[in-house]
Amino acid sequence: MAPRRKGHHPDIAQAKARKLPRQVSAVCWVDLLGYGGMIAGGSFDPLSPQAKEAIQRLRAFHRIVAEHSDRNFRTLVLNDGAAAQRDLSFRSVGPTHQFLARAFDLYNALQASEYRNGWPGARMFVATGFRALGSRRSIDLGRTQLGSILERLAAGAISADQAVREAASIERYFDVIPQLQANFAFTKAYVADSIGSRGGFSGPQFFVDELFFDDGIPAWATGGAIISFRDDRLDLSGSFFPVTNILAPGKLDAASSGIRNATQIASVLSGSIK
For the chain, the domain total comes to 1
Task: Report the chain's C-alpha Rg in angstroms.
Answer: 22
Say if 165 falls within a structural domain: no
CATH of the domain at 59: 3.30.70.1230
- Under a CB-based contact definition with an 8 Å cutoff, are residues 74 and 84 in contact? yes
* Higher pLDDT pick, 3 / 98: 98
Q: Is the pLDDT of residue 3 over 50?
A: no
Torsion of Cα atoms, 52 then 115 then 225 then 103, to 10°? 80
Q: Is the pLDDT of residue 252 over 60?
A: no
Range in 109-113, 156-160, 161-165 the model is least confident about: 161-165
Say if 166 falls within a structural domain: no
pLDDT at 135: 53
Q: Kind of pairing, strands 81-87 and 22-32? A: antiparallel
Q: Is the pLDDT of residue 13 over 60?
A: no
pLDDT at 263: 94
Say if 7 falls within a structural domain: no
Tallying the residues shown for the chain, one arrives at: 274
- Under a CB-based contact definition with an 8 Å cutoff, are residues 183 and 27 in contact? yes
* Higher pLDDT pick, 252 / 73: 73
Say if 213 falls within a structural domain: yes
Q: Is the pLDDT of residue 170 over 50?
A: yes
Q: Give Cα 102 to chain centroid, integer Å.
A: 10
Q: Tally the C-alpha atoms within 13 A of residue 31's C-alpha that lie toward its C-beta.
A: 19
What range does the domain containing 116 cover?
A: 21-135+176-269
- CA 110 – CA 163 distance, rounded (Å): 41
Name the pLDDT band for 15 (thresholds 50, 70, 90): very low
Say if 141 falls within a structural domain: no
**Residue 205 burial (C-beta neighbours within 10 Å; 0-12, 13-18, 19+):** buried
pLDDT at 5: 41
pLDDT single digits (tens) 46-65? 888 888 999 999 999 999 99
- CA 232 – CA 217 distance, rounded (Å): 27
